[in-house]
Structure 1
Amino acid sequence: KAKCEGVAVFVVAVGNRYNRTQVEELASLPVQQHLIHVDQLEANEREYVQRFFRVFLSTLNKGLNSYPPASLKPFCSRLKDPNDFISRQSSQSDDPLSDVLVQTEHEVSTDVLSQENGQQSVPGSNFNDNNSPRSGMR
């Protein structure tokens, strides 16, 4: 939903224990400009990430990419209402703390990523996709 609202998402993947497909889905398009992979955050790799990010910011400043990209617009057009994912529904009491979030016709996306072995991890944990090549990433 954020991507449909014009948010540019830049992703830095550190290490090699992550699901490549899921990480690529997090990044904005084109992925080559919004996703960088480093093995560790040692000094030389931090410098590389900083240079890459400066180029990204320069590209963003110049307006060379459009957000959302044209390829995402068909998906975005299906999000008719900003509340398509979650809506607030007041309870019978006047207490604002008793308001509840109700899931509407669309599924709520979560921040849980699946590991190759079927276990689930939350962001910041180790992810593993050893079957995926590293092409397109540093």
Structure 2
Amino acid sequence: MSRIKISETKYYTLFASTEKNRAYLKIIGFWRSPEQVPNYLADWKATLSKLKSGFTLLTDASEMKTHPKDVVKLHEQAQAMVLKHGVKKVAEVLRDDIAEMQLNAVAKATLFPKQNFRSAEDAEKWLDE
């Protein structure tokens, strides 16, 4: 399966698969402030431009540390964009319970259609269904 690289920074990677109509986001480490990821929303816009409505999203947050409030707001903005573009379902890979609680709260606020997984393989399988 071919993936188009949109962005690869030390804080996140974003890829798109037109073949699977799927976005791949990996969140890495601790984001102190939105200034550390100045292109995050623009990168999302570029990713979404490659996908059709009804796409799926696999978020790998297994290396994510909990984020401060202003960074959470950034995630909410990104989720709003993803929802507006017509995401069908979202799989999140999580290993940290605190990060999981934080992401669940954000998803609840934005009505994000997601399910949590402990492995990327299980997440990918669920999205393929």
TM tier, shorter chain?
A: under 0.3
Query: TM-score of the superposition, structure 1-length normalised?
Result: 0.24
Q: Which has the higher strand share?
A: 2
Query: TM-score of the superposition, structure 2-length normalised?
Result: 0.25
Return the structure number with greater relative CO, CA threshold 8 A, min gap 6. Answer: 1
